[in-house]
Amino acid sequence: MMFRTESFSAAPGWLVLSDGTAFEGEIISVAPLESEGVLAGGEVVFNTTLTGYQEVATDPSYAGQFVTFTNPHIGNYGCNEHDMESGKVWASGIVVRDYSEIYSNHRATGSLLELTSSAGVPLFSGVDTRALTRHVRSYGALGAVIGTGSRSELAAAAGEHLTTTGKDLATGAGRSERLVVPGEGPKVVALDYGMKTSIIRRLARHFDLVVLPATASAEEVMAESPAGVFVSNGPGDPAAISHSDAQLQGIIGRVPVFGICLGHQLIARAIGAETYKLEFGHHGGNHPVSRLSDRVVEITSQNHNYAVDRDSLGHASLRAEVTHVNLNDGVVEGFALPGERAISVQYHPEAAPGPHDSYYLFEEFHQMVAEAR
């Protein structure tokens, strides 16, 4: 086994929340910092996964957020090309208790620090992440800044406007051009609101896949003559996305539809249901979800700040049936539109990182598409 060490520069810094709470640590980078002041702003969330920091950092759904890892030891197995969930780091900052300057894994081709430094994303180490997590659980996902220099100046820059509330972060998070991913099976169009690479891999196992930008109209989607449509995950507030209602209303009922995470929320909004912001979101790889059809419990990977309002589903324009519920807090984790051959889940059945309990949903979508042809 090869052990690799790295040299880096460290500068004293602060994570300052919009309520004035401050956490001291070190901002580490490959090269010395050239200036003082605010390095990044975003909304603070915490993730409870034990491994998979590279997948989390490169997941577009984390755009605009500082990811705090509750696992105290981060970086010890390095990074590699295959575990990239997109082409770059999307998180605004990474906050850890202890960053390992030694990494060891036969798959590793570089370090987490090299990955964040190349993206200009601050890696903030030495933080009491347990205290920070407890604060977020008590007061919600607050806006914050990471920076060096005067704590009071950083506090003045931290504000609630740095949260994801009211922001369409998804429309520009996905691909801007059509992408064809040859696969086995019927053609499916995927709307890319910030889709993870692992979702593309999973869909390509079942379908001949065409990925279109999130801004594609219903007419552009249906011009592909798809046998089904997939609506992807993505960052930000679903209520702030202005074009998705008309887009999905022109698709639902014409072909089978499958949505994940943000896609789940957008489908709900397209049929007249409402979404709301969770106090501190669901981020991790160990969330228990009940599948209501048979009461099987799935351990799931989750990453979202918003959820579908259950009561509003009962008043939607189309008949919706809740299919999955979070056992921690009762949040709607899935629903179906039986008359329109549409299903959606709030969690991530592709995992990456996380358990594989929910892979069956891709097979279920494949069956829906096959039966509709």
Residues assigned a catalytic role:
261, 348, 350
DSSP letter (8 states) at residue 348: B
Please state whether 140 falls in left (phi above 0), alpha (psi between -120 and 50) or beta: left
Exposed/middle/buried for residue 322 (C-beta within 10 Å: 0-12, 13-18, 19+): middle
d(CA 309, CA 332): 7
Select from 345, 270, 248 the least CA-distant residue to 303: 345
C-alpha separations of 152 from 12, 134, 142, 156, 227 in Å: 15, 23, 17, 6, 57
Are 94 and 69 contacting, i.e. CB atoms less than 8 angstroms apart?
yes
Beta 98-99 vs 143-148: how paired, if at all?
unpaired
Say whether 310 sits in a helix, a strand or coil: helix
Distance between terminal CA atoms of the chain? 51
Beta bridge partners of 325: 290, 332
d(CA 175, CA 173): 7
Say whether 277 sits in a helix, a strand or coil: strand
- DSSP string for residues in 143-175: EEEEEES-HHHHHHH--GGGSSTT---STTTS-
